[in-house]
Structure formats: structure tokens, C-alpha cells
Amino acid sequence: MTVATYWKIIRPSIALMIIAGATGVFIGYRIEPPHGATLGIVDGVSIHYHRGEAEETRGRYGKQYECVEFVNRWLAMHGHRNLTVTGHALSYYTQAQDKGLVAYRNGGMEPPRVGDVLVFSSPAQPHGHVAVVIGVWDKGLKVAQQNLTLGRFAGFSVALPFRELGLSYDPRQGTYGVSDMGWLTCLGWARPKPTAQLKYPYRPAELSHIRDR
């Protein structure tokens, strides 16, 4: 199936364009994928588009396709038990021990690793948001996530589910800090306990995504 036939063209909009000094009206379209469309794949774990709670159904790993559903699938496919119906995104930090995870606060002495679950929160999103760390370097890290689009990319209908964040280190205190993601503040990260018997070692994720051109 080609991308052109896969993506739905909906929501006509009117855009003003200035061409050669003259103002004109251009009838355009915002391309939006259907609920459940695959936006990306990380280490064989797919990330799907979420078009709103009205189209949600409960699947094996949670409500499709919320951020927690992706994290649950990621952990399960790497050897952890299925964490569906164990709490919202914020609970991956506040109730980490009950989930077989170890929580580390943002600004503490333990740096994030590939495979950790970053947990975010904000007054506008009190139940939180979760994302999986898929790459770490000296001053940054990359996460994969579901059900969160921050801005748009040229040639794509929605923001890709892979995002880079800043990572700082304070040599005087020996502490690490992860930057905010838009309006979301990073509280910390949760890591499966050694007894979870995950498929180590993690490797840098192989990324792929669907282009619409």
C-alpha cells in the first residue's frame, strides 16, 4: 500500500498566500492520518497516530493509542511484564516500585540510559506523559513517544514521534538534568529492575518513519 493511498486528506482550510506582490486565496488541505496509522518504528515497536479519545479502544497493552500503550508494548517486547491497567503515565514515576521499575529523579546523580522511561507532567496534563529513551550522548538524548505532537515538520502531516532533548551535567554536584519538552516538565525516569530480565544489552534504536512525499 502506498503512502498516498494510506493517508487521508481531510479538513479543508483556507490559506492566504502572497505571490509576486499580489494577495490571493489558496484552497489547501491539512493531511491527517487515520487513527492508528503507523508514524514510526523503533526497534520493531511501532508508534501509532492518536486522533482523540472518541476513537480509542482498549487493546492488549492499554487504550489505543495513548502514550502509555506504546511504553507498555515497548517494555513487554523487551521482556518486562505487561503493565496495562496499572495506572496513568505519572504513576510510572510515583508508583515505579509497584510496576517492577526503579525511579530516578531529574536532577539526581543517576543519568538516563537507553531503555529508560522518561516521565513528564504539567498543570495542563496532570496525568503525565511518558516516552522511551532511545539514544543518549554527552549533551542530549532522543526519545520515542506516542500521542504527542509538538509542531510540524516540512513534508509530514504531523510531528514525528522521535524528539531530542537537552541533557546537562553538573560536575560540582555530580547531577544530571533533562530539559523540558515543550510545556511538559521532566520529573525523572523509570528503569526496569534487574530482576525484570530484559533483553540486554540495549542498542541504539533503528528509526524509520512514513513520508508523505
One digit per residue, pLDDT tens: the chain, 213 residues? 333 333 333 333 323 223 333 332 333 334 567 788 887 778 788 888 887 776 778 889 999 999 999 999 999 988 889 998 888 999 999 999 999 999 999 999 999 998 999 999 999 989 999 999 988 988 999 898 988 765 543 344 445 567 889 999 999 999 999 999 988 999 999 998 864 444 433 344 444 444 433
- Measured distance CA(128)–CA(205) in Å, rounded: 24
| pTM for the structure as a whole | 0.74
CATH 3.90.1720.10 fits domain 3-209: yes
Residues 6+ apart with CB under 8 A from 49: 33, 34, 35, 36, 37, 38, 39, 65, 158
